[in-house]
Amino acid sequence: MAIPILNHLDLRSVSELQNAILHKTTSSSASDVEGKIIYDTGTDSAKVYNGSAWVDLGGDISRVNITAGNGLTGTVDTTIGEHTQTLTVVGGDGITANADEIEVTVDGSTIELDNTNGAGAVRIKDNGVTLAKLAHQTNNTVFKVSASGVPVAGTIDTANITADAVDGTKIADNAIDSEHYTDGSIDRVHLAADIVDGTKIADDSIDSEHIVDGSVDNVHLANDGITIGGTDVSLGGTITALTALTDLDLTAGNKTIFDTVGANTLTMGASGTTITIPGNLIVTGTQTISNETVKVVSDNTLQFEGAAGTDEAHELDLTTAVLSADRTITLPDNSGTIALTTDITARQFTTLIGNASATTINILNSGASAPHKNHGLGADSTQFMVQLVEVDTGATVMADVVRGASGAIAITFATAPAANKMRVLINKIG
């Protein structure tokens, strides 16, 4: 449905109404309101209602007078109503008009048109037909010739050879040399199997990128030739410590780093070191993070402890309720404070307005009397987002909304709305 606009739309003589389409209806279906403009689909014309009848904005052409001029003669009829006039083409600059022929002379050549079948002629000036105006033959072959009509030596170039027209039968044996190869054009399909041996491989040219994953086995490794992190490892020896280790990947099945830690302390990394666990971390006991700043305690509760020295005796507990299904809470991708329900309620206001007589209704911060209302959202009205909804239809409507001082909002309609037929929605932003 269309958006109702309940007050005048003032473009202030600086704004254009662009790409607008008039209401498509018929004059018999449209309401007869003085000044109303429609597009009458019955007559395919724009019309305006003048207070008593629909008037066609296109008007009616009742007379066209033809005045004699350069190359034209005609009759002049000043009578009102339908009539017939005659237009005659006569001779002038470059035009010759005869009884059965019109000749147009351009640059010394003549185009002749007459009404005698086969007798007329169309003449083209010298050199007036170019190659671009000639149709190709059915085989799409184009030859370049001289003015005498013979082929010009050396004029057949790549543009005149059909794509893929030259095949192997037209190339002499041993005629293709390295200069004819495009750089990078020889690929694997052009090489015979096992054709590349050690003599064709440059020294120090085999890099790790040329070795298939998992293809290097023990027989290809020299003893003491393995380094893990910063530690040299002998084949068959015992590893007591690994230093400067960047990554350690334990795959396929459960792995135990230590059978028993016992009363000893297991330390991972030094102070300031970041330990990353990309998978799930399962802690069966109490997990302490950053000097007990955040704790996960019993009863599905996430506990935040107060800062040391100030409010460390107090905690903030976030506890889940009894769940009947899986739930998801998405936090905003932003910095700031998450508002509580009480905060949100305090930034919203709604009320019904309209008494069938007042065209302007004020929504004030405080002190209003009927039909005006109080919103209580504060004194800065520039923070308010105002929307109007027609109660009966649920449509969003538009009126003149002015935000004033001390939180005042003035809503003005062209016609006073009926009692409680308009709902005002105000959101405080900022």
Lowest-pLDDT range of 163-172, 242-251, 343-352, 406-415: 242-251
Residues 361 and 413 in one domain: yes
Residue 256 counted as domain residue: no
Is 356 found in the same domain as 294? Answer: no
* CATH number of residue 390's parent domain: 2.40.30
pLDDT for position 193: 85
Same domain, 351 and 402: yes
408 vs 364: CA distance, rounded Å: 4
pLDDT above 90 covers a percentage of the chain that reads 25
Burial class (CB within 10 angstroms; exposed 0-12, middle 13-18, buried 19+) of 411: buried
DSSP 3-state assignment of 179?
Answer: helix
Percentage with pLDDT > 70 across the chain: 61
Give pLDDT tens digits for 280-326: 777 777 766 655 556 666 677 887 777 767 676 788 888 888 888 98
- Comparing 183-187, 298-302, 329-333, which segment has the lowest mean pLDDT? 298-302
Give the pLDDT band (50/70/90) at residue 165.
confident
Helix (H, G, I), strand (E, B) or coil at 131: helix
- 361 occurs within a structural domain: yes
More confidently predicted of 384 and 117: 384
pLDDT of residue 118: 47
Say how far apart CA 294 and CA 367 lie, in whole Å.
48
Residue 14, in any domain of the structure:
no
Nearest-angstrom CA–CA distance, 395 and 388: 8
The C-alpha atoms of residue 234 and residue 245 are separated, in whole angstroms, by 17
Q: Is the same domain home to 313 and 351?
A: no
Same domain, 364 and 305: no
Domain assignment of residue 67, yes or no: no
Please report which confidence band the pLDDT of residue 138 belongs to, taking 50, 70 and 90 as the band edges: very low
* 346 & 315 share domain: no
- Of residues 200 and 160, the one with the higher pLDDT is 200
Is the residue at 30 inside a domain?
yes
Supply the range of the domain harboring residue 29: 24-56
Domain boundary among the residues 32, 56, 80 is at: 56
Is residue 363 classed as helix, strand or coil in its secondary structure? strand
The answer to whether residue 401 is domain-embedded is: yes
Q: What is the pLDDT of residue 376?
A: 93
pLDDT grade for 35, boundaries at 50, 70 and 90: very high
Residues 307 and 366 grouped into a single domain: no
**What average pLDDT does the structure give for the chain?**
77
Whether 349 and 308 map to the same domain: the answer is no
Nearest partner of 7 among 423, 426, 428, 410, judged by Cα: 410
139: confidence class by pLDDT, cuts 50, 70, 90: very low
**φ and ψ at residue 297, rounded to 5 degrees:** -110, -175
pTM of the model: 0.39
226-228 and 348-353 as β-strands: parallel, antiparallel, unpaired? unpaired
Q: In this structure, is residue 251 part of a structural domain?
A: no
Q: Are residues 310 and 373 in the same domain?
A: no
For residue 345, is it within any domain?
yes
Claim to verify: residue 354 and residue 421 sit in the same structural domain: yes
pLDDT at 26: 95
> What total number of domains does the chain contain?
3
